[in-house]
Amino acid sequence: MTELVLKGGYGEHGRSCFLLEPNDEHFVMFDCGILDTDAIPYPNISPSEAQCIDYLFLSHAHKDHTGAVPHLIQMGFQGTIVASPETFSQIGLHYDKVQELDFSSKRSADFEGFRVIAGSSGHCPGSLWFHVCFDSGYKFFYSGDFQPDPLVYRVDMPKNLDADVAIIDMAYDAVLDSAPLLTENLSKKVQEYLASGKRVILPVQAFGRGVEILYLLYKTCPGCKIWLDPNMKAITDGVLNGLSVKEERKQELAEIYDDVKRNSIDDADIVIIGDAHLERPENQATVRALLGRATGIIGTGRRKAGSFMARMYDENRAVWVPFPHHSSRKDARYLCECNHFKTVLPFHSNVKEIWNS
């Protein structure tokens, strides 16, 4: 009988790690991340477990899903790491046993004892969801971080899939609004600041919502000058050269990037910084320099305790406007309605819930 062991990520925003034990000797793991605000950031994995893992599937490159992989290797992991080409490129992992999954043309792959169907999760470049069918008949679904209605990134909506257990993203557990409404709210807030004469600073997660927000604000704030920091420029270059952008958006996004990449920060109306929590000293210095004039700072992701961005919230210099980079409660329910999951564990938030069909 296949057993699912929760090693992290359930009831906490980070440390995502889920272990399947199809038998007593071989394990299959999904993600191996850290919780960077915890004194012990790693998943609860023993060396003996690490040495028994045959496959580690990585949904995407963000450190709350991949940050503990070096620690896992140090504990004796010798299995195969499976991920998209973009994910491997982003994490820069030096490890011999890797298998790239390029599902842009093929949606399934066979492994010893199971088959995997996967698709783009819409969260960031190279992000995937996985549907696993074991030879024993046990079926498992893992959404990774999922965004059902992205502006720029490709998404393959899972439909009519069966699973005994599904682990699905519900990072925005208290957010009931749909993705289109959330994007509209962010655009309106930026326009409100601009109309009052304020410059807008948006610290964003570069691999993910940054490119989506660039697209949104360019389209909804015509005539405004947008400045991208060097990290955002490098990321956007990579996104345009990858496989994760919707086909109908590629040319448009390339034209947008070509228009904004030469803008100067001195006369920019909107400043996008690829550092969501403003952890890099150079980005903190940039923000401090900009605070001398009327400025509004908008955060769109989680609040990280102790970060420079958290200080901006505490000093009432920043406001939070959620952007649909993850699934809301409404999104998670909709994903369940589209499929046939017997038991569902929503993860990536501080709530612990079990949904049974």
The pLDDT tens digits of the residues spanning 296-327 come to 999 998 888 899 999 999 999 999 998 888 89
32 has pLDDT over 90: yes
pLDDT digits (tens, 9 = 90+) for 273-301: 999 999 999 999 999 999 877 899 999 98
Cα-atom radius of gyration of the chain, to the nearest Å? 20
Q: Are the beta carbons of 221 and 260 closer than 8 angstroms?
A: no
Q: How far apart are CA 116 and CA 122, in angstroms?
A: 18
pLDDT band, residue 138 (cuts 50/70/90): very high
Cα torsion through 86, 87, 89, 90, rounded to 10: 110
Please report which helix (H) or strand (E) contains residue 136, including its range.
none
The yes-or-no verdict on residue 105 having pLDDT over 70 is no
According to DSSP, residue 303 is labeled P
- CA angle 16–313–33, rounded 5-degree value: 10
Q: Packing angle between helix 250-260 and helix 230-240, nearest 10 degrees?
A: 150
∠ CA 258-259-264, rounded to 5°: 110
pLDDT tens-digit readout, 337-351: 999 999 999 999 888
pLDDT of residue 104 exceeding 70: no
Mean pLDDT of the region 96-120 = 86
Q: Which two tokens stand for residue 32?
A: 């191996």
- Tell me what pLDDT residue 1 has: 66
Task: Give the list of residues 6+ apart from residue 144 with CB closer than 8 angstroms, or none.
Answer: 30, 31, 59, 60, 65, 121, 123, 127, 128, 129, 130, 169
Give 51's pLDDT tier (boundaries 50, 70, 90).
very high
Q: What is the pTM of this model?
A: 0.91
Which CA distances in Å does 214 have to 121, 193, 317?
20, 17, 22
Each residue's pLDDT tens digit, 66-89: 999 999 999 999 999 999 999 998
Closest to 228 in 3D by CA, of 273, 281, 278, 290: 273
Of 325 and 252, more confident? 252
pLDDT-wise least confident of 33-42, 100-109, 148-157, 330-339: 100-109
User: Tell me: the pLDDT tens digits for 143-192?
Assistant: 999 998 899 999 999 999 999 999 999 988 887 677 788 899 999 999 99
What values do phi and psi take at 344, rounded to 5? -125, 130
Q: How many CB atoms lie within 10 A of CB 111?
A: 16
**55 beta partners:** 28, 80
Q: Which tokens go with 137?
A: 């008949």
Average pLDDT over residues 99-124: 86
Q: What is the pLDDT of residues 206-224, one digit of tens each?
A: 788 899 999 999 999 999 9
pLDDT computed for residue 103 by the predictor: 63
170 and 328 Cβ atoms separated by less than 8 Å: yes
d(CA 124, CA 214): 14
